[in-house]
Amino acid sequence: MVNVETITEKVRMLPVSSQMEVFELVEGLLKQSAKLSAAERAAAWKAWADGHRDNRAVVEDSRDAIYEDD
C-alpha cells in the first residue's frame, strides 16, 4: 500500500488542472462506492476478481517448493 505522503507528493507535482482532475476522480469514486449496498459492493468485488482470475502474480505458492531441488 502506498502511504499518504507519497500520494500527496505525487499529486503536488502535477499542474493545478491535473490536480483538480485527480480530485474529481477520487470524489466520483467515493460517491459511487457510498451508493452501493454491501451486496452490490461484494458483487462488484467478485466480478473484478473473476475478471482477473488468469492474472497469476505468484507462480508457485507452496512452502514445500522452496526446499525442492531443481
User: Does the pLDDT of residue 66 top 80, yes or no?
Assistant: no
What pLDDT was estimated at residue 60? 60
Q: Which residues contact 52 (CB under 8 A, 6 or more apart)?
A: none
Q: What is the pLDDT of residue 58?
A: 53
pLDDT digits 0-9 by tens, 8-64? 998 899 888 889 988 988 888 888 777 888 898 888 888 878 887 776 655 566 677
Q: Return the closest-CA partner of residue 28 out of 20, 18, 40.
A: 20
The whole-number pLDDT of residue 41 equals 82
Domain extents for the chain? 4-54
22, 11 Cβ separation under 8 angstroms: yes
Looking at residue 13, its pLDDT comes to 92
